[in-house]
Homo-oligomer: A and B are copies of this chain.
Amino acid sequence: MKLNQIARLTPDATTQYTELKALGFIADPAEDLTTLVQADLPLLFPEAYSDAAKQEALANIAIDDTHTLRDLVEAPMQWLNVTTFYAAALQLLGFEPFTDYQLSDPASFMTATQLPAVASIATSADFLQALYLLLTTRTKHLVNYLDDLANRGFFAHYQDGKETPTYLFFNGKAQAVFDPRKLVREVVWVESDLDTDHDGQRDLLETTIFRPAATDQGVKMPVLFTANPYFHGTNDEAVKAITHVPDPHLAVKTVSHTKAEVTATPAEPMALPHKAIEQTSTTAEVYADEQGIYSLNDFFLSRGFATVYSAGVGTRGSDGLRTTGDPAETASAVAVIEWLTGKRPAFTTRDGHTAIKAWWCNGNVAMTGKSYLGTLSIAAATSGVKGLKTIISESAISSWYDYYRENGLVVAPGGFQGEDADVLAVDTYSRQKRTGDFLRVKPQWDQALAEIAAGQDRTTGDYNAWWDARNYRNNLANITCDVVSVHGLNDWNVKPKNVIKLWQGLQDLPIAHKLFLHQGQHVYLNNVLSLDFTDQMNLWLSYELLGVQNGAKDVIPDVTVQDNVTPQTWHHYSNFGAPATDHSVQSLTLDQATGRGASFVDNATAIFTAHHQTSDDFEAEIVRPGKNSLYDDVRLWLDLPAFADEVTLEGIPTLSLRLWIDQPTAIISARLVDVGDAKRFTPNASVIEASGYQLGYDFKADRIVEFGEGTETASKLITFGHVNAQNPTNAYEIQQIEPGKPFTVEFELQPTHYRLPKDRHLALIIHGADMAQTQRPTTITNYHLDLEASTLRLPLRSDEN
């Protein structure tokens, strides 16, 4: 086990002293070592609140085979030393002697696990330093030790007797001193400038607030806001009905476009009158549901952050219609922030009669969430809205074209073949769940859905003005908030291109951008044990929203990447895939590969159908080495020359192919594969502890997970890409193909960071249709590559640690 820790600060002794005093560990500056030990160690058992109970708790912690912490507290000068202290400390952190470590040698386990220790405990100052370090050390249950103490009631009486409750910061981070059970759960309707349902009225947006009751006593709190279109449910049955069957015909395109032709025109601003306003400070509706909550948000409730959820236009309880990523959805999210920061009205009911202010908000907002939720964080950031200080955007889309299309092809998000923008609109149109409300706008909705179906254009798959209006990267220059991006390197749903293109686009802006890349698919990072992501976000949000000068921007590395070979290992860099600095590009023509000829046929749809395969089956088969793959004839397998030593791919591989086909158009897919028998990480993280990640005292808990090795496999997909043969350079200009006549296509594979050990090699697989992601044409197409004239460019990191 390795418990990597980034967010622990090491302040000077004076600061440590002051902070320990605030926690109650120091009564008198003159206390000697014995007095300190005898006063402080019993405080580490907050669930025991009589002396006798504390004595028993001390006696449960062994310091050697025959003595316990109770002996040590009775006679500190006799028993206290570095070994006994850490023998006990590891038990306090949740580790077990005999199983995890030996009582006589805690040090070697601590080194292996990357837990910090002091060198000596001989004086009061030493002890306080060791105590400070211990309180900020990670436990076996994901959170820090002081968090763990808080989860056991350490701060249960912190606010007692105070007229106005107060925050507590320790080690630069907000501590859990507010009662998460005492929550005010409210609903308001935020007025937007939109009228997406064309009823002549501004769309009002239902917004849910969970605020610690301390706000009622005068504490102004910042907000973690999650714009979650799924918050009020999805229309799963309607989705089944509308999901597209992958088209058996690949269109021959005839019309090419210019950049200007595919550029979106900004919409006119609305000019409807605001509602009449009567003012109140109390809401008229309570929120009683328990679904759609993000555990990272919940973790911060007890730390003095309110959490706010809003699902946006066209969701249950709100006005408007779903629009799948267009500027109206951005405006929905922005409107909530503007209300939170006092610049826009909200009402206690949807009739707009009585206005209510976010009087309890300190004016600082962060956005959080994964997938569509993280996407709307990016969207809101590109508005430059004031008060939005940072976004923590996970597995997010930065351009919707990169979600549903690729290089002139219709592609599916991994696992959701046949999904498209219209399907997602239907899925999230939870306004339908309030039937009385839904029926009033049904004709408008039918019309809007038809417009989405037309705009998305499943015929050509080309980039157009409709998609351009859904490309947040057009507006990156507006971003003024700091950005945290989290993405899975194996996320074939929202593909890594989305985060890396965002990363690249933000490079020249005067903002901080922190990038986390993990080995998961489309999942959250906060409950992964080996990284202190939650604690880093506490450092980050304490700085961004509560103004704590904790150096968060310097402490958190610009780039954190999880290793794909050694479990529980995270690398830290100052850049990602930047060729000018510590990167190089290896360029090789494909005739250098060991292959089986230069031709293949695309007959994949027929094989797929005949064998009743699923998308998962196809994805497993197409990368299986050797002649025994069902799809062996439909792919060109090129084994690349082995590297002399281990290498780390990092960045965006590109491919330039010279080929001819015997049809007027074709799908070209390319997969870069790691080949060699080896134990590799499983696709999904394993559950380490079902309810181990505790989110507060007497409150909720989430599971703890970790990525790790599975059984031996023969190969693994590193990255892939797809291109329409008619789109040789971009997604809107097309070429006419003359069957049998050579042409060239250039395209990027998905960005990657991949360490390839010495005993393994790369293979490049070129094939036609991808049953899991592209359309499924039934036309049998023959391909012939000019390998000498085809080039793969692999970006390599040259300073891998």
Contacts and interface: CB of A to CB of B under 8 A. Distances in A.
Contacts of A288: 46-47, 151-153, 697-698
Contacts of A68: 436
A701 interface: yes
Given A61-B436, A97-B435, A349 B56 contact: yes
Contacts of A152: 288
B349 A284 contact: no
A129 B481 CA distance: 59
Nearest to A288: B152
A69 interface: yes
A31 interface: no
A284 to B, nearest CB: 4
A285 B47 contact: yes
B53 A284 contact: yes
Contacts of A98: 238, 432, 435
A49 B286 contact: yes
A183 B52 contact: no
A349 B50 contact: yes
A160 interface: no
Give the number of copies in the complex: 2
A322 to B, nearest CB: 16
B238 A99 contact: yes
A53 B285 contact: yes
Interface string A674-715: 000000000000000011101001111100000000000000
A47 B436 contact: no
A607 interface: no
A181 interface: yes
A56 B694 contact: no
Nearest to A347: B52
A568 to B, nearest CB: 17
A4 interface: no
Contacts of A350: 56
Contacts of A351: 52, 55-56
Determine which residue in A60, A185, A291, A354 has the highest number of CB atoms from chain B within 10 A of its CB, and name it.
A60
A39 to B, nearest CB: 19
Contacts of A386: none
A235 interface: yes
A353 B99 CA distance: 33
Interface in A87-129: 91, 96-99, 103
Nearest to A52: B349
A698 B235 contact: no
Given A235-B99, A439-B66, A284 B61 contact: no
A145 to B, nearest CB: 14
A237 interface: yes
A437 to B, nearest CB: 5
A528 to B, nearest CB: 20
B151 A698 contact: no
Interface string A145-174: 000000111000000000000000000000
A96 B291 contact: no
A97 B442 CA distance: 13
A151 to B, nearest CB: 6
A98 B98 CA distance: 61
A287 interface: yes
A62 B439 contact: yes
Contact of A690 (B153, B291, B349, B700): B291
A124 B291 CA distance: 37
Q: Which 7 pairs show the lowest CB-CB distances between chains A and B?
A: A68-B436, A50-B284, A60-B434, A62-B435, A152-B288, A53-B284, A52-B349
10 contacts: A47-B288, A49-B284, A50-B285, A52-B284, A52-B351, A53-B349, A59-B437, A70-B436, A288-B697, A700-B700
